Amino acid sequence: MIVVPLGVASATPTAVRHLPSVALWREGSVFLFDCGENAQMRMLQAGIKRSKIEAIFITHFDVDHYSGLLGLLATLQLQRREKPLHIVGPKGIKDFVEWNLKFADIDANYEITFHEIAEDIESDVVHDEDEYYVEARPLKHTKFCVGYRFQEKDKPGKVDAEKAEKMGISKDEEFKELKAGNDVTLDDGSVVKSSDIVGHPRPGDSFAYVTDTEYTPNAVKLAMNTNILYHEATFGKDLNDKAGETGHSSTVDAARVATEAQTKLLVIGHFSARYTNEHDLLKEAREGFYPAWLANELRPIFTDPMHERGIITPKVEINEIDKKSGGSNYKGKKNYKSGGKKNFRSRKGGSSSRGRSSSRSSSSSSRGRSSSSSSSKRTDSRGKSDNYKRKTYGSSTYSANIKDKKDDSDSSSPRKITPRSSYDDFDRF
Amino acid sequence: MIVVPLGVASATPTAVRHLPSVALWREGSVFLFDCGENAQMRMLQAGIKRSKIEAIFITHFDVDHYSGLLGLLATLQLQRREKPLHIVGPKGIKDFVEWNLKFADIDANYEITFHEIAEDIESDVVHDEDEYYVEARPLKHTKFCVGYRFQEKDKPGKVDAEKAEKMGISKDEEFKELKAGNDVTLDDGSVVKSSDIVGHPRPGDSFAYVTDTEYTPNAVKLAMNTNILYHEATFGKDLNDKAGETGHSSTVDAARVATEAQTKLLVIGHFSARYTNEHDLLKEAREGFYPAWLANELRPIFTDPMHERGIITPKVEINEIDKKSGGSNYKGKKNYKSGGKKNFRSRKGGSSSRGRSSSRSSSSSSRGRSSSSSSSKRTDSRGKSDNYKRKTYGSSTYSANIKDKKDDSDSSSPRKITPRSSYDDFDRF
């Protein structure tokens, strides 16, 4: 799965932050969590096809969280969408969409199915498919607000084909039976047990979206053992009181939820406009939980970078959320293509996260070397500020991974997209 | 007056074009024509205070033209606005705003006065103040749509103070009488005629906003003798038929309206997403009318550049509407500050527009020289593409003006803002 923050502002946009929306890409389908103003354009800029949207999940009815919904629906209409669309939100969402479509004189040529969430639920499975489901739980805000957890269902264990052949399995049907969990009796009467051939089921990936809430146990339940927890951190710890008064979280709250839920990665977003440098918030969050990252608009966050990188490529420059470096921008598309020759962030990553990834990966022989050789070429002032950042905040294991991979291949050739394959045992974080 | 295009897309945003909205700045007040998605953020980015909005004029109820309205109203609420706001639009606008504010549970702490335009009007003065008025006329679209003309009322003629003194006028009250058009009898019994001292009344500036329409005489009426006509040019002339079918204009239609209305400047916008290089559309428009310009998002267009430049300064980079150069961006704020040392577009301008401005201005001695000296420093590939562009499309008289002015002063000092003063006889175009 790939999580792409489309907007990380709270309440009102700043010159560089859009209103809240987060896209989740999974196996070619897209799910939108909140739909702040201009979400449709941010998707386009992120390189995510709007036609691939399966469902939209609205958390609550503060204008900033749904003001992009109508524009998006109008664009889907223009695109002549025919595939049904699911819209999930607190009770009233159906009314809102239908009233406004009627006002705009739009007779949608695609079916919209609504799932409205009642205020008195403990939890609610709002979307259920073969391979995943989405669960909602009420949060604690000034108005009714829900958080969501997107959960892939368990995937079947791996089949040990070699062992199966040795035990006499040769036909496809027999393999299928074993995979489905059934034992197979061979022609000679011997029984091959499914459990001998098929490994343990592998847990699915999960993503929790928790925003516009004070600390609440429900947030922890949603985030429990997730791969990625996207949690609001509207305020720093100096404004903990204000956070409580306005029904929001501080960096401390976000870290607390992440810690209690033992999520694998905390991503903080929904920043108050008063913070021009979000890294200050990240520092605070990291005091309470590690690994924590910043939601950076349009920059993808992967649950499985080895398989998923290259699938979503931003179509515009990504604004680095760091004013200190004076606008040293990561040029998304351009540099992906040019093999990272120029401006590509070759951040080494904090030593801890670096160590983590190296100790696990099977293809990390030349990592440190290739990474440092490219960074040593940088002698301009921008390079210096990058170095500074590397020391202070560096933790981009994924950027480093991409870079390393590229250095292994011919760096002047166009970037190769690794085809999507079934999950392997690569440890995600 | 200053016209700032906030979004120049049509129907659906592209990766670089926002949905339709144009801000008009006049003497510290702001007027918004249409309010496409994200208009509130674009205003912020353009450096236009949202608190200064006096009135919002919506042309029609295609979603792209009003999808930013609700978000803007919510932000004004957050800003604790108290000043009344005028919202003008076709009948139904009041219903739309009130229903949606109620849905969002917003009890506006500022008064909203609505002016709803009936479908059967010939013309309608929708906003009338001491110094200006706004007129609406129906256009020809697939649904009811109006165009607007913002007209400053005539300004009193200039008082020739020297001549008045010679004729014996010394007191402030006497000046005021003359200014108001009354003759003054001096102590010695001689009469000083107002018409001897006060010049002809000067016509006010005007701006017409015509979008989402086929050619219609009403567009010409709205645009008659305007300083600036902002006219849609959704299609090129190759798609003239399609323009008619969909109730839109081609470049040919836009030029026709401008010609018939004898507007001083045609600005085309509202481009179909199929055109990645709008300069092709500009070329076509210029075949029919000159001077014509492109609406470039966030780049201000002045009726009086000598007095108005510096008032609105974009807070973000302005995207040059030209894909050929591969993203060589004009860095708005940065370069304004740094004196245009880096990346500043020092386009010489087409010889014709260049000649026009030089022949009029009183401070153009070192223009050609300073401009070429800065461009000769550019030796990288980007510089080359700039040179190429300069030859092909160059016409940014105003950019050149700003640049020239800066070269006259100390280029390392912050940019000086010319204070606003009363109108003089500087010829605007």
In B, minimum Cα distance to A65 occurs at: B71
User: What is the full DSSP assignment across B32-92?
Assistant: EE---TTHHHHHHHHT--GGGEEEEE-----GGGTTTHHHHHHHHHHTT--S-EEEEEETT
The active-site residue, picked from B64, B253, B386, B407, is B64
Q: How far is B147 from chain A (nearest CA, A)?
A: 19
**Which segments within A129-185 are labelled E, that is strand?**
132-138, 146-152, 184-185
Q: Is A142 among the domain residues?
A: yes
What contacts B129, CB < 8 A, 6 or more positions away? none
Whether residue B312 is contained in a domain is answered as no
Which residue type is seen at A256? Answer: R
Chains A, B: CB pairs < 8 Å: 103
Together in a domain, A20 and A102? yes
Range in A343-352, B171-180, B196-205 with the lowest mean pLDDT:
A343-352
Instruction: Assess whether B90 and B169 both reside in one domain.
Output: no
Same domain, A193 and A211: no
pLDDT of B86 higher than 50 = yes
CB A21, CB A32: distance < 8 Å: yes
Q: Are residues B125 and B274 in the same domain?
A: yes
Provide the shortest C-alpha distance from residue A404 to chain B (in Å). 27
Place of tokens 């961006």: B329
Give contacts of B81 with chain A, Cβ < 8 Å.
none
What residues of chain A score a pLDDT lower than 70? 319-429
**Record: contact B40-A41, CB cut-off 8 A:** no
In a domain, B309, yes or no: no
Contacting residues of A for B44, CB less than 8 Å apart: 13-15
Considering only CA atoms, give the Rg of chain A: 23
CB within 8 Å: B104 and A37: no
CA distance A62 to chain B (A): 6
Q: Which of B303, B325, B346 is the last residue of a domain?
A: B303
Comparing CB atoms, the residue among A61, A68, A96 nearest residue B37 is: A68
Give, to the nearest 10 degrees, the angle between helix A251-261 and helix A278-288: 40
A218 to chain B, minimum CA–CA distance in Å? 24
| Contact between chains at B104 and A61 (C-beta distance less than 8 A) | yes
- Catalytically active residues of A are 64
Which chain A residues have a beta carbon less than 8 Å from that of B75? 12-13
Looking at residue A328, its pLDDT comes to: 38
Confidence of residue B397 (pLDDT cuts 50, 70, 90): very low
How many Cβ atoms from other residues are within 10 Å of residue A247's Cβ? 18
**Per-residue pLDDT tens over the stretch A211-269:** 999 999 999 999 999 999 999 999 999 999 999 999 999 999 999 999 999 999 999 99
DSSP labels, A344-412: -------HHHHHHHHHH-SS-TTHHHHHHHHHHT--SHHHHHHHHHHHHH---HHHHHHHHHHHHS-TT
Nearest-angstrom CA–CA distance, B309 and B398: 9
Cβ contact, residue pair B38, A13, below 8 Å: yes
For residue B185, pLDDT over 90 is answered with: no
Instruction: Tell which of B18, B38, B97, B320 to mutate to test the A interface (max A CBs under 10 Å).
Output: B38
Classify residue A185 by burial, with Cβ atoms within 10 Å: 0-12, 13-18, 19+: exposed
Q: Is residue B422 part of a domain?
A: no
Number of domains in chain A: 3
Residue of B nearest to A95 (CA): B103
Task: CATH number of the domain at A261, please.
Answer: 3.60.15.10
For residue A50, the chain B residues in CB contact (below 8 A) are none
Indicate the DSSP class of residue B198: B
Q: Nearest chain B Cα to A66, which residue?
A: B71
From chain B, the residues in CB contact with A93 under 8 A are none
CA atoms of A243 and A249, how far apart (whole Å): 5
- B310 falls within a domain: no
Q: How close B25 comes to chain A (CA, Å)?
A: 19
Top residue of B12, B61, B382 to mutate, by most chain A CBs within 10 Å, is B12
Distance between CA A24 and CA A14 in Å, rounded?
A: 23
Does B65 lie in the same domain as B25? yes
Nearest-by-Cβ selection for B15 from A13, A44, A68: A44
The CA distance from A48 to the nearest CA of chain B, in Å, is 11
One-character DSSP codes across B245-260: HTT--BHHHHHHHHHH
Mutation target to probe the A interface, by most A beta carbons within 10 A, among B34, B43, B49, B63 is: B63
Give yes or no: residues B259 and B396 share one domain: no
Cβ contacts of B95 on chain A, cutoff 8 Å: 103
Is residue A18 located within the same domain as residue A121?
Answer: yes
Q: Considering only CA atoms, which of A34, A33, A30, A45 is closest in space to residue A11?
A: A34
Contact B13 A41 (CB under 8 A): yes
Across the interface, which of A103, A106, A315 has its CB nearest the CB of B96? A103
**Phi, psi for residue B31 in degrees, rounded to 5:** -125, 135
d(CA B164, CA A341): 71
Identify all chain A residues contacting B45, using CB atoms and an 8 Å cutoff: 15
Flag whether pLDDT at B206 surpasses 60.
yes
- CA distance linking residue A154 with residue B225, whole number of Å: 70
Contact B38 A40 (CB under 8 A): no
Pair B9, B17: CB distance under 8 Å: yes
Distance, CA of B45 to CA of B332 (rounded, Å) = 10
Within a 10 A sphere around the Cβ of B328, how many other Cβ atoms? 16
Is the domain of B264 the same as that of B403?
no
Three-point CA angle B191, B193, B198, nearest 5°: 145
A167 and A54 share a domain? no
Overall residue count recorded for chain A in this entry:
429
The residue with greater pLDDT, A20 or B343, is A20
Distance CA A213, CA A410 (A): 48
Percentage above 90 pLDDT, chain B: 59
What is the pLDDT at residue A77?
97
E strand spans, B189-327? 191-192, 206-210, 228-232, 266-269, 292-294, 301-302
| Residue B349 pLDDT | 38
pLDDT of B227 strictly over 70? yes
Instruction: Identify the weakest region by mean pLDDT among A284-288, A389-393, B102-106, B382-386.
Output: A389-393
Q: In this structure, what token pair is assigned to residue A315?
A: 């179509």
Cβ-Cβ contacts under 8 Å for A62 (sequence gap 6 or more) = A11, A143, A212, B104
Looking at residue B319, its pLDDT comes to: 67
pLDDT at A320: 58
Residue A326 falls inside a structural domain: no
- HSE (side-chain half, CA atoms, 13 Å) at B416: 12
Distance CA B423, CA B158 (A): 9
Residues B223 and B174 in one domain: no
B237 and B89 housed in the same domain: yes
pLDDT of residue B320: 58
CA distance A205 to chain B (A): 31
Q: According to the model, what pLDDT value does residue A168 have?
A: 83
Interface with A, mutate which of B41, B60, B272 (most A CBs under 10 A):
B41
pLDDT on residue B175: 83
Residue A269 lies in a domain: yes
Asked if A196 and A182 count as a contact pair (C-beta separation under 8 A), the reply is no
B43 within a domain of the structure (yes/no) = yes
Using the beta-carbon criterion (under 8 Å), do B61 and A12 form an inter-chain contact?
no
Q: In this complex, do A44 and B13 lie within 8 Å of one another by their Cβ atoms?
A: yes
Of the ranges A269-273, B28-32, B319-323, which one carries the lowest mean pLDDT score?
A: B319-323
Q: Testing the interface with B: which of A35, A63, A328 to mutate, by most B Cβ within 10 A? A: A63
Longest CA pairwise span in chain A (Å): 75
**Chain A residues whose C-beta sits inside 8 Å of any chain B C-beta:** 11-16, 18-19, 37-38, 40-41, 44-45, 61-64, 67-68, 70-71, 74-75, 78, 92, 95-96, 99-100, 103-106, 143, 315-317, 327, 334
- A291: nearest Cα among A269, A273, A264: A264
Q: What is the ipTM of this complex?
A: 0.76
Exposed/middle/buried for residue A358 (C-beta within 10 Å: 0-12, 13-18, 19+): middle
User: What confidence score (pLDDT) does residue A265 get?
Assistant: 97
- Whether residues A166 and A213 share a domain: the answer is no
Domain that holds residue A178: 161-197
Q: For residues A146 and A137, is the Cβ–Cβ distance under 8 A? A: yes
